[in-house]
Amino acid sequence: MLTSLSELPTYKTHGTKLAVLTAYDYPTARMLDDAGVDLLLVGDSLGMVVLGLPDTTGVTMEMMLHHTTAVCRGVTRAPVIADLPFASYTTPEMAVANARKLMDCGAACVKLEGGVSVLPQVRAIIAAGIPFVGHIGMLPQSVKEEGGYKKKGKTAESIDHLIADAQALDEAGAVAMVLESIVPDVATRITSQVKACTIGIGAGAGTDGQVLVTPDLLGSFPWFRPPFAKARADVAGETLRAVREYMADVKTPA
């Protein structure tokens, strides 16, 4: 079980896979920490699976601060990664100021989306002494701009861009990077070329670890589940059963 970001290089060297899950509230964070999950991510995916928004672009800094604080209250061991939400890092100065706010909530590091295009922001965050996690490939915060969620690494040009992004983040000093919805062979290639730990989601098994949205894992968000996510529980079904059983007891005459 990971207890510090300083242990990440050892995981990479020894080939020990990282198990990462999202958390958005105190009880979930506490249970995942007790279970031994290596890293917790307070992802802006909370916009969809907690707040019912159509995508992540409506998530604000205030929302991220609220949920990061709750998660960090529930954790005693696992380092917490906190997302910088859409439009919260348009300049290096803004990126650092908002990253500091998330760190003040108890996060161990911050994450933002992009590679070469956001390198000034990344460098500013790291120069400020804030541990940084990158995120390349499919970028949920760019879903409107790109017209949907699209697999990355299908063309030579796309592969070149992904490798350039990964190498730029690695050279800047990222402690890890999320590879989202990338062709598996390309994700494996990137993993072999960077010092930072890679954490895949929809990018095959060749990365240094995997991250899942916890409601997808638990089956607690039945309205949508990505094809790569295997539900290992049926929390939605059990919730419906328990509620209906309770209602039957209440409504049945004594």
Range list of H helices, the chain: 8-14, 26-35, 46-49, 61-73, 92-104, 119-127, 143-146, 156-172, 184-193, 214-218, 235-251
DSSP state of 231: P
Closest by Cα among 89, 120, 115, 119 to 102 = 89
Closest by Cα among 114, 65, 56, 59 to 90 = 114
Q: In the annotation, is 146 catalytic?
A: no
DSSP state of 55: S
Which residue out of 113, 171, 180, 245 is catalytically annotated? 180
Q: Which amino acid is at 71?
A: V
Catalytic residues: 180
